[in-house]
Amino acid sequence: MKLQHFFISILLLLLPLAVQSQKQTLFVDDFTSDVKVPESVLTNIRSAVIDGITNTNRVNLVDAHAIIPAPEYSPMENALRYRAQYLLQGKLLNREATDDGISGPKFHSRENSYKEKFVIRLQLIRTSDGTTIFTRNYEETGSSSGKEASQYYALERALVNVPYAMRNLIEHNFKVHGSIVELVSDNNKKAKSVYINLGYDDPIKEGQRFDVMVQTSFAENYMEHKIGEVRIKEIVGPKYSLCKVMSKGGEHILKAFEMGAKLHIVSRQSRLFDE
């Protein structure tokens, strides 16, 4: 019995590693700046970016600040040391602030008022070949006024949209793929619920939506087109989740499944009014 408990304990310890192994690893490098700013400003911007990425649960994140990078190595080499498939670099291109941290703060005539505006460029690089797969400039603004106003609160408000922007970045560049493996229920006209081959071992969560794709051929060329959507209702196992078939496409999904077609699913970006 003791031996059995020992093996169970080992299994529980290894389970988180197995889950993580399903994800891509992203190395977040130190951010740089083209303009002179207080170090705290760059640190807060970078922290907001990292928090936004971490909240997606889509990638394993390695923070260059949390490890000891080899000084003789380039950022790419340090990323490869940690077996990261991708490298994220950030550069502050511009910043306008009422109190820039260098000169004295400026006040309006009636009350304290602070404004913050910055532009940061994020670059996503694939470490296997050094290819830049994504580059975008993000411009954010914020303000703070009144008795408790400060430049810090203005910056804090400027960072409010960053988690949403990072979710879009990650969902666009780190898609999750799977298949529909079982039809659970239908009403003879439309598929109502299905099982997919993604579960606890994968970077998914309840409520996440997937496009359902079916492969077709034309003139010996194969292509995929969307026939519907599913939403994860319950994750029931390491590689098994119950999904609700969304209203549009249920008929096509049922027909394709009955014909024996392979139904591929791919994660899509979240939308504001998703159910």
pTM of the full structure: 0.79
Q: Predicted confidence band at 223 (pLDDT cuts at 50, 70, 90)? A: confident
Asked if residue 191 is part of any domain, the answer here is yes
Same domain, 144 and 263: no
Domain extent at residue 126: 23-173
Asked if residue 67 is part of any domain, the answer here is yes
Does the pLDDT at position 105 exceed 80? Answer: no
Domains of the chain: total: 2
Does the pLDDT at position 265 exceed 80? Answer: yes
Half-sphere CA count of 200, side-chain side, radius 13 A: 7
Of 151, 173, 195, the position where a domain reaches its end is: 173
Of 130, 157, 173, the position where a domain reaches its end is: 173
Asked if residue 91 is part of any domain, the answer here is yes
Does the pLDDT at position 217 exceed 70? Answer: no
Whole-number percent of the chain with pLDDT over 70:
84
CA dihedral 177, 178, 184, 188 (to 10 degrees): 70
Of 144, 173, 202, the position where a domain reaches its end is: 173
What is the arithmetic mean of pLDDT over 229-251?
93
Same domain, 185 and 104: no
165-195 b/e (C-beta count within 10 Å ≥ 16 → b)? bbbebbbebbebebebeebeebeeebbebbb
Q: Predicted confidence band at 108 (pLDDT cuts at 50, 70, 90)? A: very low
What is the arithmetic mean of pLDDT over 75-90?
95
